[in-house]
Amino acid sequence: MIDGHTRTCGLIGNPVEHTMSPLIHNTLAGLLSHNLVYVPFHVEEGKVQQAVEGAYALNVLGVNVTVPYKSQVMESLVEMDELAQKIGAVNTLVRCNGGFKGYNTDMPGLYRALVSEGIELEDQEVILLGAGGAARAVAFLCAVHQVKKVYMLNRSADKAKLVAEEVNSKSGRECIYPMALEDYQALPDQKFLAIQATSVGLYPNIEDVIIQDRSFYEKIHTGYDLIYKPRDTSFMKLVRQSGGKAYHGLKMLLYQGIIAYELWNEVSVPEKMAMQVYERLEREIYNEK
Ligand code: NAP
């Protein structure tokens, strides 16, 4: 029940209307008997600073940040977590003295998701498809977790080159190799973990796939698609048809939320509870009522 002690958390972005975050956080609050409510805040362009200051003035406990403000919001923070600073994107604000501190929980969220599926990064050779905001975070994750080599393939080869240079320089490891997407046939003849971090194939364009050529999928032992809607993307289907294992990105969404919730409330969410939230997400997203 909402009363005089209820704490507020929320999401700022534009748009925010399709977010699953209220389901994650309000379910956690219910399961943990926390007097906390999580709401979406649609913030217009140019109003991010005001939104952050307003949230602090209103004693808001924590804020998530989504598209298009993950970089822009950094100007409005009083402190930055080192990892978020390196990634250059913030998706979680934690209340601190005089304002908010910025974190990135997308990257550790993906790591927890990979671990929970039994996928290891250490010493792997990885194909990373994309060079946008999500791919950039994945590239950092790979660099931090001692991936041997990451072939970053992107439609705009220039962008892949810039991101690779930045990640290599900030991580102090020369492990990201940029490539043009169309040059995929030049990849070494071996098996890879492939992480699909482009927006190609996202609902409702579910027939689209980043690379059509079936021979490409023979090089993949495990495919992880950051997209979680549809449940089986065309990329995942092609990986499976070539004998590989394939996963969607719903656990990444789950764990980025759980890590934010843990930061705000200084708790550790047990795995069994995480799975209860996951089941609710699945029911909601895939209409398994
Ligand atoms: P973004 O910054 O807009 O980047 C989009 C990427 O997709 C770029 O690499 C872009 O290539 C590529 N792309 C788009 N259309 C393409 C096309 N027709 N052909 C080839 N490449 C194309 O987006 P983002 O924030 O990185 O997000 C990427 C995906 O990850 C989205 O689908 C998002 O839903 C998903 N995601 C999932 C989670 C999760 O929790 N599971 C979290 C974050 C993101 P160019 O550079 O050439 O334009």
pLDDT tens, residue by residue, 3-22: 999 999 999 999 999 999 99
Strand 220-225: give its sheet, edge to edge.
176-180, 149-154, 125-129, 192-196, 220-225, 245-247
Of 13-17, 84-88, 139-143, 199-203, least confident by mean pLDDT is 84-88
Query: Is residue 289 pLDDT above 60, yes or no?
Result: no
pTM as predicted = 0.95
**Element at 246 (helix H, strand E):** strand 245-247
Write down the pLDDT at residue 287: 84
- Average pLDDT (35-59) is 98
Q: Does the annotation mark 149 as catalytic?
A: no
Ligand 1 atom having least distance to the Cα of 198? 7
User: How many A from CA of 156 to the centre of ligand 1?
Assistant: 12
Nearest CA to ligand 1 atom 13: 198
Write down the pLDDT at residue 253: 97
Query: Is residue 111 pLDDT above 60, yes or no?
Result: yes
The set of protein residues with a Cβ atom below 6 angstroms from ligand 1 is 106, 130-135, 154-156, 159, 197-200, 202, 210, 226-228, 249, 252-253, 256
Amino acid at 3: D
Which tens digits make up the pLDDT trace of 164-203?
A: 999 999 999 999 999 999 999 999 999 999 999 999 999 9
On average, the pLDDT of the chain sits at 97
Query: Is residue 208 pLDDT above 60, yes or no?
Result: yes
Write down the pLDDT at residue 288: 64
Nearest CA to ligand 1 atom 4: 132
Write down the pLDDT at residue 278: 98
Ligand 1 atom having least distance to the Cα of 130? 9
- How many alpha carbons fall within 13 Å on the CB side of residue 101? 14
Give the 3-state secondary structure of residue 196.
Answer: strand
User: How many A from CA of 227 to the centre of ligand 1?
Assistant: 9
Nearest CA to ligand 1 atom 14: 199
Strand 79-80: give its sheet, edge to edge.
36-42, 7-13, 62-65, 92-96, 99-103, 79-80
63 strand-pairing partners:
10, 93
CA-nearest of 222, 213, 169 to 194 is 222
Amino acid at 140: F
Q: Which domains does the chain have, with CATH numbers?
A: 7-104+251-285 (3.40.50.10860), 108-248 (3.40.50.720)
Give 8: exposed, middle or buried? Use CB within 10 Å, 0-12, 13-18, 19+. middle
From residue 139, alpha-carbon distances to 54, 107, 198, 208 in Å are 34, 9, 13, 24
- How many alpha carbons fall within 13 Å on the CB side of residue 55? 33
User: What is the CB neighbour count within 10 angstroms for residue 46?
Assistant: 8
Answer whether 230's CB lies under 8 Å from 285's CB: no
Nearest CA to ligand 1 atom 12: 198
Write down the pLDDT at residue 165: 98
